[in-house]
Amino acid sequence: MAALIVGAQAPEFELKAIDGKRFVLREELARGPVVLAFFKVSCPTCQYTFPFLERLHQTYAHQARGHQASGHANVTLVGVSQNHPKETAAFTKEFGVTFPVLLDDTETYPVSNAYGLTNVPTIFWIAQDGEIEVSSVGWVKAEFAEINRRMAESGKIAPAAVFKPGEDVRDFRAG
């Protein structure tokens, strides 16, 4: 089974973050769209992708919070680790990840399996109604740009330039 496709309903789940906080998908969707980024710490493409996801988080997290009171949707970006807490914490530190990271059970991977993961990274944009609107496997620059555009749109601001001038950013990298 391939990763869930655009138009599918996102399976409901509850996981704990590495800081011990509870994450319930339906509760987060009540606040706004959710970006789920599944990964393994040993995956080179995940190591490539997560610093770019952190840039999105840094760019939009503070702006979205400021707009929340005015009724603008707040996008939640979360990682979903397929590793143990200690390895996951080391990964977030090494790659400068400050957005919440959830822990999928490393024995049975219930959430990864519910989302049909075959490769990591796999990133989903889940609309407030629970529909998957972006399903991206591996590093796909065009799909990353789409997530950037949607995050900006949710905050009612212009999309940020998340790639630095002169930075060599690949169009595709298999997961």
Give residue 20's pLDDT.
95
Total domains in the chain come to 1
What mean pLDDT do residues 79-107 have? 97
Give the CA distances from residue 13 to residues 61, 130, 173, in Å, rounded to whole numbers and listed in that order.
23, 12, 28
Domain-embedded: residue 175: no
Domain-embedded: residue 7: no
What mean pLDDT do residues 145-169 have? 90
Domain-embedded: residue 18: no
Q: Is the pLDDT of residue 117 over 60?
A: yes
Spatial CA neighbour of 145 closest among 128, 163, 157? 163
Distance separating alpha carbons of residues 94 and 98, to the nearest angstrom: 11
Give the CATH number for residue 114.
Answer: 3.40.30.10
Looking at per-residue pLDDT, the higher value among 161 and 120 belongs to 120
Q: Is the pLDDT of residue 173 over 70?
A: yes
What mean pLDDT do residues 151-168 have? 89
Q: In this structure, are residues 37 and 79 in contact, taking their beta carbons and an 8 Å threshold?
A: yes
Give residue 134's pLDDT.
95
Mean pLDDT taken over the chain: 91
Give residue 60's pLDDT.
87
Domain-embedded: residue 94: yes
pTM of the model: 0.92
Give residue 3's pLDDT.
79
Domain-embedded: residue 167: no
Domain-embedded: residue 9: no
Domain-embedded: residue 55: yes
Q: How far is Cα of residue 95 from the mean position of the Cα atoms in its chain?
A: 15
Domain-embedded: residue 90: yes
Could you tell me the residue range of the domain that residue 48 belongs to? 24-63+75-156
Q: Is the pLDDT of residue 140 over 80?
A: yes
